[in-house]
Amino acid sequence: MHGRGSTSHGKWKTTFLAAALTQRRVTYRQRLESGTVGLMEYSWHQLPCWRILDTDFGDGENFFRTWLAWRGDANAPRILHYVACCDSPVASSHLLSWTQGTPDLQALSQILAPQWLGLLPGFHRFLLDQGQVILTLCIGELSHLLRQQQFAADTLCFSGKALRTAAASHDGSVWLAKALARCSRRGTTLRCRHVDHADRPAWQGALTQCGFAVDMAQTTGCVEFAECLDGIFDPPWPIRYSRQPLPTAALPIESCVVVGAGLAGAAVASSLARRGWRVQVLDQADTPAAGASGLPVGLVVPHVSSDDCPLSRLSRAGVRLMLQQASACLVQNQHWAPSGVLERQVRGTPQLPKHWPEAGLEWSRTHQAKSTAQTCDAMIDSSLWHPQGAWIKPGELVRAWLNQPGVSFQAGARVDALRSCGVGWKLLDATGRVICEAKTVVLANACGAMTLLRKLAEHAPDLRTCLARLPASQGMRGLTSWGLHPEGRVEQRAFPDIPVNGSGSVIPGIPVKSGTAWFIGSSYQPETQPERPDTSNHWRNFEHLEQLLPKLANDLRAVFEGQQVLSWKGTRCVMADRLPVVGPLDGGNQPGLWICAGMGSRGLSFSVLCAELLAARMGAEPLPLESQLAKALEALRA
């Protein structure tokens, strides 16, 4: 965080702050009596983004009232970020029950409640109201959660519960005051609610010591204010923070060029456009999703590991966001379906963590706990059931993202080189002609991004050292085998009625133009090797099918032997550590060159998450992940 403003503090400033706090109390009381505001008044008018950090989500009342106030304010910011901490979340039924007497609030709780599942410790992001209200629920021990934040809040809310937690620690109130100061900018407003009268002087001292100007004026006639502390972060010293490794100054919201019109590029374009950016998406092909994202259908499914490794936690965060976008943008049962996915364990793996909590069972559980009438020989031995798994047609999602306001698509634009032009970048074709210029460029064109960066390093020695920190990558070819169900009837062969993965995958009953199709795959082959014939890849898919679903393989043998199988081919970009690369490439506090690529076979699981992470870093917004997990996706991490 970087402090701004004067460091001279005199009586005039104390008087000004006191007057500002008094005005907030008067305005609050007036609006409280009229029933138009929740717990505080926000000075968010005409701003692009407002960031709230609440140390106690509780039953969600403050969040729902803030959301309602945002909806009712014509001058509200375009994006409302609400980051809320809690040690354990309330049940979804409780979100619904307490709002029953207030129709406006109940309507909001009914939007959130269906998504209120799988709330394991960590960060959970919910994109609400077309992605313009963003709730990030942080579950765990408060001091740990506050350390994981990497943004400066515009408003801080904390409660007596947080104070009691702080009082029980060895540092008492001081650590909480310091933690809140680390999440503040000069001018951040503070409200502490439900403060015991006897504790108020101690908290005033701790907060003042950490740079908050606290209002201790007693109020009468309003119980709400009798239990509250108001304050503003305005320390009489220059603000310096060395803990923040990422650029914190928000880029100006203007125009941006994204190279690549696949899942990664379209997701980035969508996230930025929701925030007010004008995004131009370039692709060398004549249509969007012409590369690996043109896969006819794919699975979005959480990764499972016995130690719940970073990949597993990242995949759950990504699946949650992808399901929200699929539900908002696609036609269910035509472009996607929340079918669930059955994962057959191969040689006993993967295994769930030994002490897998109840919230985890909403993500993944052993098949014995699965309640379904489907019959499938994958059920004979050990399998995992992923109730939040789904099948999605990636191309449909890409087109939906590119069709939203603020995004334009330029086909046939093959970017061959990048050149710095002082305040931005020139994007050149193979003849050296300038396709376009932009102050901000995002490379989201898979392996093509790595080729562009290698060329750039030859012409930009100052960037060579930075770009050397990108992890190694390679192209991985894949072929998917597919065919039509006879007369559209899935049950004529031993197909399961749900997708199955493990050793390869089987996705049955997918509507296509020519009928109803099944898909099996996909093969893997490094791009550096001579390409195998399609027939060889089909048989590799068949061999995996024999391990996955032997009865189905027996039924389909004649189809494969008769070479009646259709194919789809594409090349994925895979990083050496199997994780995407997301973030700035040219350093500084206002970087102009960014990347979002390397998602491998997990584009459906990672694309929305990576786009939200990139947009958050561009806009100095709250991250969708704990800082430790976000660091695993940093572009310059090698």
Which residues constitute the domain of residue 434? 255-291+396-472+581-632
CA distance 203 to 180: 13
Q: What one-letter code names the amino acid at 49?
A: C
Both 163 and 215 in one domain: the answer is: yes
Per-residue pLDDT, 241? 62
What is the dihedral sign for C-alpha 202, 206, 209, 212? negative
Between 367 and 530, where is the model more confident?
A: 530
pLDDT band for position 216 (cuts 50, 70, 90): low
Q: Which residues contact 251 (CB under 8 A, 6 or more apart)?
A: 440, 590, 618, 619
CA distance 521 to 526: 16
CA distance 298 to 31: 50
What is the DSSP secondary structure assignment for residue 488, as one 8-state letter? G
CA distance 368 to 359: 17
In this prediction, residues 277-290 reach a mean pLDDT of 98
Both 275 and 313 in one domain: the answer is: no
Between 426 and 216, where is the model more confident?
A: 426
Per-residue pLDDT, 234? 94
Per-residue pLDDT, 587? 76
Per-residue pLDDT, 9? 36
Which of 536, 558, 575 is the C-terminal boundary of a domain?
575
Here the CATH number for the domain that contains residue 21 is 3.40.50.150
Whether residue 345 lies inside any domain: the answer is: yes
Q: How far is CA 124 from the centre of its chain?
A: 8
Whether residue 6 lies inside any domain: the answer is: no
- Rounded alpha-carbon distances, angstroms, from residue 278 to 77, 268, 354, 365, 409: 17, 12, 47, 43, 11
Q: How far is CA 300 from the centre of its chain?
A: 14
pLDDT by residue (tens digit) across 599-635?
Answer: 999 999 999 999 999 999 999 999 999 999 999 999 9
3-state helix, strand, coil in the chain (%, to 5): 35, 25, 40
Whether residue 241 lies inside any domain: the answer is: no
pLDDT by residue (tens digit) across 421-470?
Answer: 988 999 999 999 999 999 999 999 999 999 999 999 998 888 888 889 99
Nearest to 499 by CA among 314, 300, 322: 300
pLDDT by residue (tens digit) across 11-21?
Answer: 433 443 444 44
Q: What one-letter code names the amino acid at 44?
A: W
Per-residue pLDDT, 352? 96
Per-residue pLDDT, 235? 94
Q: Mean pLDDT highest for which of 35-49, 219-233, 378-392?
A: 378-392
Between 374 and 632, where is the model more confident?
A: 632
Per-residue pLDDT, 229? 79
Asked whether the beta carbons of 339 and 499 are under 8 A apart, the reply is: yes
The answer on pLDDT for 189 being more than 70 is yes
pLDDT band for position 221 (cuts 50, 70, 90): very low
Per-residue pLDDT, 130? 96
Between 77 and 30, where is the model more confident?
A: 77
pLDDT by residue (tens digit) across 126-167?
Answer: 999 999 999 999 999 999 999 999 999 999 998 777 766 666
Per-residue pLDDT, 30? 45
Give the whole-number percent of the chain exceeding pLDDT 70: 85
Q: Are strands 390-392 and 336-337 parallel, antiparallel or unpaired?
A: antiparallel
- Rounded alpha-carbon distances, angstroms, from residue 563 to 23, 534, 554, 583: 78, 10, 15, 45
Both 354 and 479 in one domain: the answer is: yes
Both 449 and 356 in one domain: the answer is: no
In this prediction, residues 337-350 reach a mean pLDDT of 91
Nearest to 474 by CA among 533, 541, 524: 524
Both 606 and 499 in one domain: the answer is: no
pLDDT band for position 23 (cuts 50, 70, 90): very low
The answer on pLDDT for 239 being more than 90 is no
Whether residue 63 lies inside any domain: the answer is: yes
Which of 553, 575, 597 is the C-terminal boundary of a domain?
575
The answer on pLDDT for 103 being more than 90 is yes
Between 324 and 423, where is the model more confident?
A: 324
Per-residue pLDDT, 46? 84
Both 375 and 504 in one domain: the answer is: yes
Whole-number average pLDDT of the chain: 88
Per-residue pLDDT, 14? 41
**0.85 surpassed by pTM:** yes
Per-residue pLDDT, 488? 52
The answer on pLDDT for 508 being more than 80 is yes
Both 75 and 114 in one domain: the answer is: yes
Q: Mean pLDDT highest for which of 91-100, 164-173, 226-235?
A: 91-100
Both 521 and 401 in one domain: the answer is: no
Both 99 and 208 in one domain: the answer is: yes
Domain count, the chain: 3
Both 388 and 512 in one domain: the answer is: yes
Here the CATH number for the domain that contains residue 452 is 3.50.50.60
Both 46 and 143 in one domain: the answer is: yes
Per-residue pLDDT, 38? 38
Give the whole-number percent of the chain exceeding pLDDT 90: 74
Per-residue pLDDT, 171? 62
In this prediction, residues 67-72 reach a mean pLDDT of 96
Between 308 and 173, where is the model more confident?
A: 308
Whether residue 637 lies inside any domain: the answer is: no
In this prediction, residues 517-541 reach a mean pLDDT of 96
The answer on pLDDT for 374 being more than 50 is no
pLDDT band for position 371 (cuts 50, 70, 90): very low
Q: Are strands 425-428 and 417-420 parallel, antiparallel or unpaired?
A: antiparallel
Whether residue 88 lies inside any domain: the answer is: yes
Both 277 and 387 in one domain: the answer is: no
Per-residue pLDDT, 185? 93
The answer on pLDDT for 477 being more than 80 is yes
Per-residue pLDDT, 381? 61
Whether residue 426 lies inside any domain: the answer is: yes
Whether residue 245 lies inside any domain: the answer is: no
Asked whether the beta carbons of 517 and 485 are under 8 A apart, the reply is: yes
Per-residue pLDDT, 377? 57
Per-residue pLDDT, 628? 94
Per-residue pLDDT, 461? 83
Per-residue pLDDT, 489? 59
**Helix, strand or coil, per DSSP, at residue 606:** helix
Between 531 and 161, where is the model more confident?
A: 531
